[in-house]
Structure 1
Amino acid sequence: MAWLEQYRALARYNRWMNDKLFGLVGKLDDVERKRDRGAFFKSIHGTLNHILLGDRRWMGRFTGDEERFAPRDASGRVVEITSMAQELYADFDDLARERARTDADILAWVHQLDERALLGDLTWTAAGTVKPRSHPLWWAVGHFFNHQTHHRGQVTTLLMQMGIDPGVTDLIAMQAIEASAP
């Protein structure tokens, strides 16, 4: 029971933080968004693309609908992924639109999850491999949300280094904000 509520809260947190970060990053010009800042995925734009790419790959595995969540370019064509650093959307507006769409899909998906499903295994074959991998679904979902948070933390660091304060980013702060909302 607690897992379900935690994952639902993490899905809301994902959307809350993405809305916050995309709002700030959207005020930067393209040169600043794409400047190589020495991060693992080089730039703010590259890191945001990576998070979206990872989310789409996991959602395809979680839902079994690889086609729906297949990474696509701005024209809607499925893109063959050769690297997790691959840029899906060069245009920030396209990236922001697809981020919002994916966040809505994540929220819808976690609300249909049940405890029985979480206790089952998730088996998939990673790109470029032939040996299937398997983990309990609850573990894979935990990884999914942890991965987002990890890389969003990198984005907040890059913003702070630019003198842009993203404000409070704590999960527990989101709960307080939600509780005080009308």
Structure 2
Amino acid sequence: MDSLDMFRKLAEYNRKFNESVYEVCGRLSEEERRRDMKAFFGSIHATLNHILVADTIWIGRLNGRPVTITSLDQELHADFASLARARKLTDEDLEQTVANLRPEDIDGSITYKSIFANKESTSRRGRILMHVFNHQTHHRGQVTTLLSQLGHDVGVTDFIALVDPW
């Protein structure tokens, strides 16, 4: 398997895992989603929002779109229905972004401006994509733990179970 195939499978995994998480979160009350459970971003809603913030930033950079987000905890969507719709569209955008890549694009570099400092950085697309998928997995793991503490199970989350074998 080449790196492009790997990124395509990771994008598929990302979408399927998010569908499971959002389906379970959709059954929670607003109070449960927003309860401060002492996670890094506090609540389930805030953690889901943070994942969307980061994805929006990085997908925008990968596609040469301007980034208007100013903070990693900026609330993009106050209500869960809007957050869920934005998550679905962002997952589709990420899958399309990866599908449009050519093998030579993976090692190509992107220069972007940090949202924290007035400075530019340069990274390779493959490195950015690895960061995006790793970041999502890290914070989704936090969400699944919070859901478990509330008595909810998202089911199987293993990559090999959610994505067709290579």
TM category, shorter: over 0.9
TM-score, normalised via structure 1 length: 0.86
What percentage of residue pairs aligned between the two structures are identical?
A: 47
Is residue 93 of structure 2 the alignment partner of residue 101 of structure 1? no
Q: Which residue is 1:156 aligned to? A: 144
Is residue 42 of structure 2 the alignment partner of residue 54 of structure 1? no
Is residue 130 of structure 2 the alignment partner of residue 146 of structure 1? no
Q: Equivalent residue of 2:106, what SS?
A: helix
Q: Equivalent residue of 2:123, what SS?
A: strand
Is residue 8 of structure 2 the alignment partner of residue 13 of structure 1? no
1:136 to 100, 124, 131: 124
Aligned residues: 165
Deviation at 1:137, TM superposition (A): 1.5
Distance 1:98 1:165 in 2: 23
Q: Deviation per CA, 1:30-52, whole angstroms, max 9, x where unpaired?
A: 00000000011100000000000
Structure number with higher relative contact order (C-alpha < 8 Å, ≥ 6 residues apart): 2
2:159 to 155, 168, 171: 171
Q: Which residue is 1:34 aligned to? A: 34
Segment of structure 1 superposing worse, 19-28 or 112-121: 112-121
One-letter code of the match for 1:5? D
Q: Equivalent residue of 1:135, what SS?
A: strand
Q: Deviation per CA, 1:62-114, whole angstroms, max 9, x where unpaired?
A: 00022xxx5xxxxxxxxx53421121111100000111011111111110111
- Structure 2 residue ranges without an equivalent (≥5): none
Q: Which residue is 1:76 aligned to? A: none
One-letter code of the match for 2:143? V
Q: Which residue is 1:74 aligned to? A: none
One-letter code of the match for 1:57? I
Q: Deviation per CA, 1:107-147, whole angstroms, max 9, x where unpaired?
A: 11110111111111121111132221112221111001111
One-letter code of the match for 2:140? R
Q: Which residue is 2:78 aligned to? A: 90
One-letter code of the match for 2:80? F
- Structure 1 residue ranges without an equivalent (≥5): 71-79
Stretches of 4+ aligned residues off by more than 4 angstroms: none
Deviation at 1:11, TM superposition (A): 0.5
Is residue 126 of structure 2 the alignment partner of residue 126 of structure 1? no
Gap change, CA 1:82 and 1:119, over 3 Å in 2: closer
Distance 2:74 2:60 in 1: 18
Segment of structure 1 superposing worse, 129-138 or 104-113: 129-138
